[in-house]
Amino acid sequence: MEFEEILNKHFDKLLTEVDFVKKTYKALTKFGFSDDNSIAAICVCRDEISQPLRSIIKHVWGEAFNLSSLGGMFFAGKTALKAAMHHSPKEDGKERYVYYAMSHIAIDEEGRLGFCSRKGIKDSRACGALCGFLGELQEKKIDVSIDDEDAEQSHLKMRLLKEIPYGHVPDLLELTRIAQKVILSDIEKAIKSVVDTKKSDYALITGIQVHGPDNNYVWPARCYAVIDELVYELTQHLWE
């Protein structure tokens, strides 16, 4: 199968990264968020092919706080969230935060999952961190010790192992989806522990970045805003 066939087979709804950010921005303006009164924070993989999304978010929302780690995992913790909160504009005594968080996967022109082309490299991998972890799972040689010289990858493996049934070896797409759900869960837990929803509003925008041969896309997962302690789902607004 070629790229388009694989894309349509595994992802029901996709937006280009530009459209995704524009549409999430438009949806959030209905709930009082804007680039003038909000701060964005971004949690995506450190991979350079993930950075165009960061650039688009910064172009739309202004300078954004960086929460990123390998695989898009949320390891920045409560301290980083508090720092971003302290940098937020204040309007009418209220602060507003917009969090973008997602895992990522590449699909090349031949439809191969996990493969992409980079400058001077025909067959590269993405997400490299997830591919490395998957290789250990496949070889049944998983090192779960904390390597001080490879701390993020060590924590990635330990965190994702908690979500994989013993003895099960997912494929790369399943592992990417597991990572997306873990990122959502972990950042939600941290947000709920530090954000006072009586004084602040926030939005959480999650999904999977999909790197294609000619464009980058986002598959939206859970997207919602918390306004005056009430939860508003945003996903339906992305297709308007």
Pick the closest to residue 10 from 208, 215, 223, 233 (CA basis).
208
In angstroms, the CA 130 to CA 152 distance is 12
Please compute the mean of the pLDDT values over residues 77-85 and round it to a whole number.
94
Contact predicate 228/18, CB 8 Å: no
In angstroms, the CA 93 to CA 198 distance is 11
Does 131 have pLDDT greater than 80?
yes
Strand partners, 202: 97, 226
Does 44 have pLDDT greater than 80?
yes
pTM score of the predicted model:
0.95
Reported as a single tens digit per residue, the pLDDT across 137-159 is: 999 988 888 888 999 999 999 99
Does 1 have pLDDT greater than 70?
no
What b/e readout covers 8-41, taking b as 16+ CB neighbours within 10 angstroms?
eebbeebbebbebbebbbebbeebbbeeebbbbb
Reported as a single tens digit per residue, the pLDDT across 98-123 is: 999 999 999 999 999 999 888 888 88
Q: How many CB atoms lie within 10 A of CB 234?
A: 20
Helix, strand, coil abundance in the chain, percent, nearest 5 = 40, 25, 30
- Tokens 């759900």 belong to which residue? 181
Q: Which pair of tokens denotes residue 136?
A: 């250990």
Does 215 have pLDDT greater than 80?
yes
CA distances, 220 to each of 95, 109, 198, 225, 238 (Å): 25, 22, 28, 14, 9
With H, G, I as helix, E, B as strand and everything else as coil, classify residue 203. strand
Percent residues over pLDDT 90 in the chain = 84
Does 236 have pLDDT greater than 90?
no
